[in-house]
Amino acid sequence: MEKIARILIESSVTRIAGAGLALFIGFGASAGAQADEAYAKSLIKNMSDYMSAQKSISFNYDTILEVVTKDQQRLSLAGSGTVVINRPDKLRSTRSSGFTDIAMLFDGKTLTLLGKGKNIYSQVEVPGTLDHLLDVLRDKYNRPLPGADLFMSNPEEQLMAGVNDIKDLGSGVIGGVECDHLAFRKKEVDWQIWIAQGDRPYPCRYSITSKLIAGGPQYSIQLSDWKSGDTVAADDFAFKNPTDAKKIELKDLPNAEDLPSNFVRGKTK
């Protein structure tokens, strides 16, 4: 089987295209465009403030990871999972695809990664906040939590750093929820976000498009069954090992990616 360029996109994104159609939108430096930009920034701030204020969050998610082959064929790999967060320092998540089945638990001190298919697990000490954990997962272990920027203590700061272009694209509907649809550009990525309208402005969908990889592959995450506050079921974030899983070194634990083992990282542009 021909090796396929491995794409892992970890930051922010947005590009408008589909089914052979290209959508061109003209945004000049008019007062109207500037007003749209200001409104878009206010929606991001409202979403960020709402997310930061939630001490307990739970949701399901579905992801699509695009890869581009050497002969420029675009492929989409699907995965799904669940996340439960108790701020400032508790996390439980699952992630399943055709190539991985991983559970992650964090109790404020110890990170446990469980490979459910092979009944193996690994643990590392990462005392600190959820922000610290998400940084360590991404930067040290190359195991980023899907959509991690959205769940930091200040999502606005994570998302807006380096943004050089902003567009308010009006409304969209994600999973039956009416959302504000916004598009942003950075030097290395474009990103889009759909934010639920109303008094719970949570992110319904978030997509990231790479500018550095040929073909502009995209990573997207869509959230569903959103709960916060008292509606979040009580959870235990300690690892109990009910299946007598074998403990191994973290470096030997299969990566939590939606990719088969024969995928390799392609060169950037």
Q: What is the pLDDT of residues 142-170, one digit of tens each?
A: 888 889 999 999 999 999 999 999 999 99
In a domain, residue 86? The reply is yes
Count of structural domains, the chain = 1
Bridge partners of 75, per DSSP, are 67
Q: What is the pLDDT of residue 21?
A: 37
CA 100 to mean position of chain CA atoms: 17
Domain that holds residue 60: 9-16+29-258
In a domain, residue 267? The reply is no
In what order do the strands lie in the sheet containing 218-228?
Answer: 165-174, 177-185, 189-196, 203-210, 218-228, 56-68, 74-86, 90-97, 101-106, 110-115, 120-125, 246-247
Q: What is the pLDDT of residue 144?
A: 85
Do 91 and 111 form a contact (C-beta atoms < 8 A)? Answer: no
Do 205 and 196 form a contact (C-beta atoms < 8 A)? Answer: no
Q: How far is CA 201 from CA 43, 105, 191, 227, 232, in A?
A: 8, 26, 18, 12, 17
Q: What is the pLDDT of residue 29?
A: 46
In a domain, residue 22? The reply is no
Q: What is the pLDDT of residue 263?
A: 55
CATH code: domain of residue 143: 2.50.20.10
In a domain, residue 264? The reply is no
In a domain, residue 1? The reply is no
Positions of the chain with pLDDT under 50: 1-29
- Residue 103: count of CB within 10 angstroms of its CB: 19
In a domain, residue 122? The reply is yes
In a domain, residue 251? The reply is yes
In a domain, residue 66? The reply is yes
